[in-house]
Amino acid sequence: MTVTQTSEAAGAEPGDSTALRTDQYELTMVQAALRSGAAHRRCVFEVFARSLPAGRRYGVVAGTGRLLEGLARFRFTAEQLGWLDDRGIVDEPTLEFLRDYRFSGTITGYAEGEVYLPHSPVLRIESSFAEATLLETYMLSVLNHDSAVASAASRMTLAAVDRPCVEMGSRRTQEASATAAARAAMIAGFSGTSNLEAGRRWDVATLGTAAHAFTLLHDSEQEAFATQVEAFGPSTSLLVDTYDVAAGVRRAVEAAGAELGAVRLDSGDLVEQAHEVRRLLDELGNTSTRIIVTSDLDEYAIARLQSAPVDSYGVGTQLVTGSGAPTASMVYKLVERTDADGAAVPVAKTAVGKRSVGGVKHPLRTYGADGSATSELIGVGGAPDPEGRAVRELMVPLVVDGEIRAEHTGAAGVEAARERHRASVDELPTAAHRLQDGEPVLPTVFD
Amino acid sequence: MTVTQTSEAAGAEPGDSTALRTDQYELTMVQAALRSGAAHRRCVFEVFARSLPAGRRYGVVAGTGRLLEGLARFRFTAEQLGWLDDRGIVDEPTLEFLRDYRFSGTITGYAEGEVYLPHSPVLRIESSFAEATLLETYMLSVLNHDSAVASAASRMTLAAVDRPCVEMGSRRTQEASATAAARAAMIAGFSGTSNLEAGRRWDVATLGTAAHAFTLLHDSEQEAFATQVEAFGPSTSLLVDTYDVAAGVRRAVEAAGAELGAVRLDSGDLVEQAHEVRRLLDELGNTSTRIIVTSDLDEYAIARLQSAPVDSYGVGTQLVTGSGAPTASMVYKLVERTDADGAAVPVAKTAVGKRSVGGVKHPLRTYGADGSATSELIGVGGAPDPEGRAVRELMVPLVVDGEIRAEHTGAAGVEAARERHRASVDELPTAAHRLQDGEPVLPTVFD
């Protein structure tokens, strides 16, 4: 799998250029700046969120690996250039610049899976103005979507404690977002996904058995269950709530016997049903048959179900829509550029609203004596002073002089991000586990 | 453009198979049903939403054209089949079925751009169980996303009355969703988009000029504006809120003169600023320079800004995230199938929760004496009786015996959907224009 992914990341899918996944103004700014010569000024852009979604305690960076996979395919094809020319969107010198475009700069950032707070500089792009500007929209699209899903997913896996969560939301979001959402969920601790394309691309666990339509297709529930057990063996999961739940459970046990893997409940009062179904399964001797619930779950419903005899959670809509926060609101801001003499100048918008801090940010996470994280410490224009506290570096190299660090991409990248997520969340103060609205779990301190 | 689209829709992009944009259980259900023989039973599936998002008055069907374009690419490639085999997801007879898979059935549905209500049967799929089941997840992904965006966009264009709305939300949603969202917004009356890929695919108007970074890149705002005017002429739009808005407006007029096309405001109190900027522009003699506002707008903000001297609205985050309703919650349900003797049997889930109505639905929109729509009248198992009222047929053929009706795809499909949206919304009672929460604007009546 990893080998295939690497070759895809290197541009093997000809139909899949990412270069027009962008706003027109990125290209027109390049045209104007090429004319003034400012296009070649060295720049530093940073990606950060001014705030977390209302009430959230922390965010989870996701999309980094996907972003790098897509960066390798950020090439303007002859057909795309022809269209830009026909439409008159940019002029000939700009088309020439786009034709040869390869990002040759350096990108540093938070490792995928890392926890972020307001103003955490999750990505730093260093290159000419033109090279960095072209990437703005695409990079924000990937990070804003994937981080929104991973941040919601992380709350769900924390709420589920050691019960597995399975991603099943593909049908509730755009078809390509579905694949990206499955990947983000896996990074934030989900144990599998129903999305096959995510399985194929990043070698993550996929699962799924049958829907109500399968039962309704057959002349009776008995026949449907018998057919499924014949096809997949008794360890399959049978969906028992098409007609009558108690009768469904009895028929499932009749069809599969003591080896029945699981029953799935997809409607009604899940707490009450889980108790009834557990009692019935135990009565019938199926003490090891698991119960999977899958109806409109979010982190709050999962928390409520923790006291019920449920073995795993299938999460759909609320996962892929970020559980109320479908975008992470990250922005991509110019914070430093050279002047006509080549000297670096920190810059920032200063008019009313949407202000930001000029200068390059250097983040550290600080730790208390008990080993738990205490703050996001950010130096501006240089490293901050940790004043004797234990600290951890947060920035890692992602692209160095145009070379993409392959370890962040493909299946290996997802696995590393899962580990980073687990380790970073484990370090957080216990308030991170609270689902009720509150302040970010770590303060962001500018040094 | 249309010619290119047709060739793409016919499968010219080899990297772009849609067949794994699906949940695993669609394939495992096919495997089990192939074994029992039920896979070949003739089925009717319907797509509908049980309800609109809370408080919404109507929904807008979108995604139909994209769905048909993707249906033409719903082919299992050798690589995908190899992966399914390696993973052991399905058995050899199923792989063989998938290898030859071409949808050969018939799909009828609401025309793209049409208004829908709770239980409107927006799509009807008639084929064997196996053929229809494989499409479930993919079709719902497309319709749920695109309809959510179009439904939000429609409220925005209604609130803006005759002021143009421009879609600028690409960076706030996944990169492929961004392109789909731009298309959905155009269907619901937006006048342009910043998303270049949407422009290329469906020949819609694209626009955009410059961001704050462009101003910050230069040594002064004067220099930035002069550069932009040199590159794009005085009719360009200048972003005037990087430093001081009033000074920015003066510099913009100095740089471009009386011909200055527009100034853009992207932060602060937009109502107050719009008034000040209009006064200042008029004072400077730039009475025809337009004012574009673009900061975190939604339909409510647009309604508030209607009294301010604003010429057009750039809408981002709230558009691409469905303005609080990021998915349309449509479901894909088996409503009729043949039995062992080939006789049609209506079917429906009957356990607690998520009930639906079995049998094939036949919708009509009814009209009052004043020509405005009065209800969504649905017959079950046959045409409803309009009882003398004026009615309109809502179902149109989309795929007939496997042949995709090309007029719904590509640029022509988007243009037709824009017209359908305009006509359908114009027929609604005036309550459709109310932004406050309320009941659906038309009652759904089962006959």
Q: What DSSP line would sit under B407-425, residue for residue?
A: GGSHHHHHHHHHHHHHHHH
Helix locations, A245-309, DSSP H:
245-256, 270-283, 299-305
Spatial separation of the C-alpha atoms in residues B44 and B336, rounded to whole Å: 5
Give the pLDDT score at B10: 34
From chain B, the residues in CB contact with A167 under 8 A are none
Of chain B, the end-to-end C-alpha distance in Å amounts to 44
In our burial notation (b when 16+ CB lie closer than 10 A, e otherwise), range B384-408 reads bebeeeebeebbbebbeeeebebeb
Spatial separation of the C-alpha atoms in residues A113 and A61, rounded to whole Å: 5
From chain B, the residues in CB contact with A171 under 8 A are 23, 136-137, 140-141, 144, 332
Nearest to A212 among B138, B173, B349 (CB): B349
CB of A427 closer than 8 Å to CB of A371: yes
List the one residue out of B349, B371, B368 whose CA is nearest residue B358. Answer: B349
- At B209, the pLDDT band (50, 70, 90 cuts) reads confident
Side-chain half-sphere CA neighbours of A178 within 13 A: 32
B172 pLDDT more than 60 = yes
The angle at the Cα of B344, spanning B339 to B347, to the nearest 5 degrees, equals 85
What CATH class has B163-322? alpha beta
Q: Which of A311-325, B3-17, B57-71 has the lowest mean pLDDT?
A: B3-17
Assign a CATH topology to domain A161-321: TIM Barrel (3.20.20)
The angle at the Cα of B102, spanning B101 to B103, to the nearest 5 degrees, equals 120
Spatial separation of the C-alpha atoms in residues B349 and B333, rounded to whole Å: 9
Please give the backbone phi and psi of residue B146, each rounded to the nearest 5 degrees, phi first. -65, -35
And the tokens for A308?
A: 């019920």
In our burial notation (b when 16+ CB lie closer than 10 A, e otherwise), range B336-353 reads bbbeeeeebebbbbebee
Each residue's pLDDT tens digit, A87-116: 999 999 999 999 999 999 999 999 999 999
Number of A/B CB contacts below 8 angstroms equals 355
Nearest to A28 among B141, B232, B347 (CB): B232
Kindly state the helix (H) or strand (E) to which residue A400 belongs, with its residue range.
strand A395-400
Spatial separation of the C-alpha atoms in residues B173 and B180, rounded to whole Å: 10
A262 pLDDT more than 80 = yes
Nearest to A214 among B29, B91, B230 (CB): B29
What residues contact residue B283 under an 8 Å CB cut-off, 6+ apart? Answer: none
Residue keyed to tokens 């220099």: B223
Nearest to A219 among B31, B87, B339 (CB): B339
Residue keyed to tokens 């409220």: B155
> Are B206 and A29 in contact (CB < 8 Å)?
no
Spatial separation of the C-alpha atoms in residues A188 and A293, rounded to whole Å: 20
List the one residue out of B88, B81, B97, B84 whose CA is nearest residue B130. Answer: B97
Distance between A217 CA and the closest CA of chain B, angstroms: 7
Each residue's pLDDT tens digit, A53-71: 999 999 999 999 999 999 9
> Are B144 and A35 in contact (CB < 8 Å)?
no
SS3 percent helix, strand, coil of chain B, rounded to 5, is 45, 20, 40
CB of A319 closer than 8 Å to CB of A182: no
The pairing of beta strand A165-167 with beta strand A403-404: unpaired
Which positions 57-116 of A are in contact with B (Cβ < 8 Å)?
70, 80, 83-84, 87, 89
B34 pLDDT more than 70 = yes
> Are B178 and A21 in contact (CB < 8 Å)?
yes
A218 contact B CB<8A: yes
Give the pLDDT score at B39: 97
List the one residue out of B90, B70, B104, B105 whose CA is nearest residue B176. Answer: B70
> Are A32 and B175 in contact (CB < 8 Å)?
no
DSSP type of residue B195: B
Rounded to an integer, the average pLDDT of B47-71 is 97
Residue keyed to tokens 């599936």: B45
A11 pLDDT more than 80 = no
Q: Is A208 left (phi over 0), alpha (psi -120 to 50) or beta?
A: left
> Are A22 and B230 in contact (CB < 8 Å)?
no
A296 contact B CB<8A: no
- At A209, the pLDDT band (50, 70, 90 cuts) reads confident
The angle at the Cα of B344, spanning B342 to B347, to the nearest 5 degrees, equals 130
Each residue's pLDDT tens digit, A229-258: 999 999 999 999 999 999 999 999 999 999
> Are B208 and A32 in contact (CB < 8 Å)?
no
A317 pLDDT more than 70 = yes
DSSP type of residue B52: P
**Domain boundaries in chain A?**
2-134+329-442, 161-321
A287 pLDDT more than 60 = yes
Spatial separation of the C-alpha atoms in residues B372 and B363, rounded to whole Å: 17
DSSP type of residue B286: -
Spatial separation of the C-alpha atoms in residues A118 and B349, rounded to whole Å: 46
CB of A291 closer than 8 Å to CB of A310: yes
B352 pLDDT more than 80 = no
Each residue's pLDDT tens digit, A221-237: 999 999 999 999 999 99
- At B326, the pLDDT band (50, 70, 90 cuts) reads very high
SS3 percent helix, strand, coil of chain A, rounded to 5, is 45, 20, 35
Please give the backbone phi and psi of residue A261, each rounded to the nearest 5 degrees, phi first. -70, -50
B317 contact A CB<8A: yes
B6 pLDDT more than 60 = no
Asked casually if ipTM beats, i.e. exceeds, 0.90, the reply is yes
Rounded to an integer, the average pLDDT of B203-223 is 96
The pairing of beta strand A237-239 with beta strand A192-193: unpaired
From chain A, the residues in CB contact with B33 under 8 A are 214, 217, 227
A4 pLDDT more than 70 = no
Give the pLDDT score at A356: 78
Q: How much of chain B, in percent, has pLDDT values that exceed 70?
A: 96
From chain B, the residues in CB contact with A195 under 8 A are 21-24
> Are A170 and B214 in contact (CB < 8 Å)?
no
Q: What DSSP line would sit under A25-83, residue for residue?
A: HHHHHHHHHHHHSGGGSEEEEEEEESS-STT-S-EE---HHHHHHHHTT----HHHHHH
- At B300, the pLDDT band (50, 70, 90 cuts) reads very high
Nearest to A227 among B32, B196, B210 (CB): B32
Give the pLDDT score at A357: 87
Q: Using N-to-C axis directions, what is the helix angle for A78-87 and A92-99, rounded to 10°?
A: 160
Q: What DSSP line would sit under A154-191, residue for residue?
A: HHHHHHHTTS-EEE--GGGS-HHHHHHHHHHHHHTT--
Give the pLDDT score at A10: 34
Q: What is the pTM of this model?
A: 0.96
A352 pLDDT more than 90 = no
From chain A, the residues in CB contact with B85 under 8 A are none
Distance between A153 CA and the closest CA of chain B, angstroms: 17
Mean pLDDT of chain B: 94
Assign a CATH topology to domain B2-134+329-446: nicotinate phosphoribosyltransferase (3.20.140)
B255 pLDDT more than 90 = yes
Give the pLDDT score at A118: 97
Closest residue in B to A228 (Cα–Cα)? B32
- Which one-letter amino acid corresponds to residue B43? C
Kindly state the helix (H) or strand (E) to which residue A403 belongs, with its residue range.
strand A403-404
- At A5, the pLDDT band (50, 70, 90 cuts) reads very low
Spatial separation of the C-alpha atoms in residues A252 and A224, rounded to whole Å: 10
What CATH class has A2-134+329-442? alpha beta
List the one residue out of A252, A255, A270, A250 whose CA is nearest residue A312. Answer: A270
| Beta strands in B22-172, from DSSP E residues, in sequence order | 42-49, 59-60, 106-110, 115-116, 123-128, 165-167
Nearest to B334 among A23, A129, A216 (CB): A216
- At A30, the pLDDT band (50, 70, 90 cuts) reads very high
